[in-house]
Amino acid sequence: MYLQPKRSKYKKVRKGTLKRLEFKSNKLKFGTIGLKASESGVLTSKQLESARQSIARKTDRRGKLWLRIFPDLPITSKPTEVRMGKGKGAVSHWAIKVACGKILFEICGVSLSTAKAAFKTGGAKLPIKTTIVS
């Protein structure tokens, strides 16, 4: 099961805008090495889960892995071949808007080379550019 909120105040939300830079969560908080977003973008819960799984596999599930973001933005879509109008579509999946500089994953308890290799494969699963910080 992919990440999604248990409940939300509103079923559907407006699109909004992407922030350019992140100043609050741009430093490591829990782990010794982290994966940081180098550009802004929207990450889906499937992409996050895929990246998490590949990082966990590369580290042989050793150490502690933190996911610093949570997909709480409902993305709606209408079925194909449906005419315009008749309201907003149903919620199809959950996502999160990520600003440049935000820490996505953190890890500790594994060697530096193992963590770098894991974050390289995990970052390849994401649609945005990422950098490894320590």
pTM comes to 0.93
| Residue showing tokens 């933190």 | 66
Q: What angle do CA 1, 52, 15 make, to 5 degrees?
A: 70
pLDDT in tens, 61-120: 999 999 999 999 999 999 999 999 999 999 999 999 999 999 999 999 999 999 999 999
CATH number of 33-70+97-133: 3.40.50.970, 3.30.1390.20, 3.20.20.20, 3.90.1170.10?
3.90.1170.10
Q: Band of the pLDDT at 49, cuts 50, 70, 90?
A: very high
Q: Band of the pLDDT at 14, cuts 50, 70, 90?
A: very high
Q: Which residues contact 101 (CB under 8 A, 6 or more apart)?
A: 21, 22, 23, 26, 36, 37
Beta bridge partners of 36: 103, 131
* Alpha-carbon gap, residue 2 to 125, rounded angstroms: 15
